[in-house]
Amino acid sequence: MYPTPQEKAAVEAAEKLMVETMARYDPSHDAFHVERVRKTALSIARALPSQKPDLLVVELAALLHDVLDKKYVSAAEAADPYKFFLPFFEQLASGLDLDLLTDGRGRQISKIVENVSWTTEKNCAKCPLHAPPGSTANESTAIQHFHDKLLHIQGRLKTEPGKRMGTKRHQVILDFLASIEEEYQTD
């Protein structure tokens, strides 16, 4: 049954790393944001009827998904999450006797962090609003984030529970953007 005492300790170590790292970032990337991602990822994983993903992999990837956000770290660090997280995985192996390197789960976690770091986030709560007059869909507005990333999430989701959640969230985003556009058109 998940989590074992070792897995619980690994999750706590990842939480500590995440909290310490996120404290250096702006409020759009905080522990509350990561907690929403974590709960969403675990909810989707537990809802999968035919396959049962490794919940430790899911939880660690969710906790670590924004540690290497490209807005806050160098391109070199962001380019190789496995290399960046290797000391963390080695610490788990030596301190907790939980070897995520030999069994390949460390690489799997790193790959998830690299490829899907933003796909489970609702992001409306993450995006501070400032939009200058004119088109809301231009690169100098916070709204552009919705056009660049958030409107594309729905098409990237792989699981049925994720797709259902994505459909609902996509409509929320469309409604939000329509409301913002309506405000801009007001005289």
The predicted-structure confidence for 143-184, as pLDDT tens digits, reads as follows: 887 888 788 888 888 888 889 989 998 999 999 999 988 888
Fold (topology level) of 124-185: Methane Monooxygenase Hydroxylase; Chain G, domain 1 (1.20.58)
Q: For the beta carbon of residue 140, count every other beta carbon within 10 angstroms.
A: 11
The predicted-structure confidence for 93-145, as pLDDT tens digits, reads as follows: 999 999 999 999 999 999 999 886 443 333 444 444 434 445 545 555 678 87
Same fold, 5-116 and 124-185: no
The domains of the chain are located at 5-116, 124-185
Question: How far, in Å, CA of 48 to CA of 4, rounded?
Answer: 21
Which homologous superfamily does the CATH classification assign to the domain defined by 5-116? HD-domain/PDEase-like (1.10.472.50)
Token readout for 15 is 């939480």
Instruction: Answer whether 0.85 is exceeded by the pTM.
Output: no
4 contact partners, CB below 8 Å, separation of at least 6: none
